[in-house]
Amino acid sequence: MRVTANIPDRVVQDLKIQATIERKSVSSLVTEFIEYGIKNKNKKAAKASILKLIGKAKVNRNALKMLDEMRSEDDRT
């Protein structure tokens, strides 16, 4: 599919240099960058959702004491 986008000249120059270095077409490199950007954006959204859920989690009041006891037991073995 053909798409038209306005990209600053300096970005186009960097893109052409990178395409030459990687021996790829500018088009394939642009596709890679866009796919990478979309994937990372989706990851960030997933992380935000997880952090939101974690914020709603309740922690046992004795959690630190329980951890210390478990660590002590591990040290004894």
pLDDT of the residue at 76: 62
pTM for the model = 0.56
Please give the chain's pLDDT, 77 residues, in tens.
889 999 999 999 999 999 999 999 999 999 999 999 998 888 888 888 888 888 777 778 888 888 888 888 766 65
Q: Are 29 and 20 in contact (CB under 8 A)?
A: no
Element (H, E) at 7: none
